[in-house]
Structures are given as C-alpha cells and as structure tokens.
Amino acid sequence: MDADFSLVKGITRRLKNLVQMEEPMFQRDFVVFSKNPQMQIENWDSLKPYSVAFMNGWKILEWNIKNYKSITKASSPQQLFKLLANDRIDAVVYAKYSGLYLLQQMNLQDISIVGKPLASKDMCVVLNKKHAALVPELDRILREMKQDGFYQQAFDQTIGPLLAQ
C-alpha cells in the first residue's frame, strides 16, 4: 500500500511500514446502527447482549468488540447493512457519515443510529514509509485548505446533506 487517507491517528505505532501525517483529515465517529431505537448504548460493553457486525480489518473495532453474544465480520459495508435489514443481527458498528450515506443509497429507512458514539477518533492520511519525505508538504497543504475555508466548504457540500436528514 502506498497510501490510505483515513486510518486512526496513532495506528502507525503498530504498523511499522507506514508513516502518518500529523494533521488529521477529519474526526470519525464510530456509532451503532440498529432497527431497535430503544437499544441503550453507552459504551462498548453495552453491546455485549447483542449480535453485532462490523467490517473485517477495522482494528479499533476488532480490539474493542470481544466476548459479545454474537460477532459477525463482513467484507463489505453493504453486507453489514443487509444483515441488519434482514434481522440477522441486532446492530452494526460503523462510521457515522459513511453509514448514513449507505442507509440513503440502500433506501433503508427503518435503521438509525442509536446511543452516543462508541469512539471518536482523528483520522489521518498514512503513507508507505518510502514516501515519508512527502509528509511535511502534505501536512502544510491540508492545514492551508482548512485555514482558507476550502476544507469546510467541501465538508458542507458532501456531508452536510446527510446531517440534514
């Protein structure tokens, strides 16, 4: 892998072939989606009595979701939400904005976010260590985009409509 635009800040401590940009791209909320609006979710342990699914390979979820009633790891986000829509699981743990977008695209109207975010993490661009020399310039450009308002404008145009639902 040469680059990934959204890994949890600090993950490079465990992945030695990667270097991360210092400036976060955005903050990602990891939330619970369910068809049961009465589900009480306060923290990771709140999910233990439920059958839960999440994306295979998402380390923050793999490290925190253990010893639950039932755990399913999916290879695609669409698969996660189909399992939930078909009552095969109780909950999906996924990224807030990406999940809201999928609900819209898949026309799943009876699924919503329940509880507060399980975690909110800064997400950073990471590069293969062979590209480490690019990091300072990329950090500078991203900070400049945030300072001149372009970053917020792009966020408002892409994510804003999801939040208005």
Confidence of residue 60 (pLDDT cuts 50, 70, 90): confident
| d(C-alpha 115, C-alpha 70), whole Å | 20
Note the pLDDT of residue 144.
93
Q: How many CB atoms neighbour CB 92 within 10 A?
A: 25
pLDDT at 59 over 60: yes
Confidence of residue 125 (pLDDT cuts 50, 70, 90): confident
Q: What is the pTM of this model?
A: 0.80
**Residue 162 in contact with residue 155, Cβ under 8 Å?**
no
Q: Which residue has the higher pLDDT, 132 or 1?
A: 132
- Torsions phi, psi for 119 (to 5 deg): -160, 150
E-strand spans in the chain? 3-8, 18-20, 26-34, 51-55, 70-74, 91-95, 112-128
Confidence of residue 45 (pLDDT cuts 50, 70, 90): very high
pLDDT > 70: what percent of the chain? Answer: 89
Delineate the domains of the chain, giving CATH numbers in brackets.
3-153 (3.40.190.10)
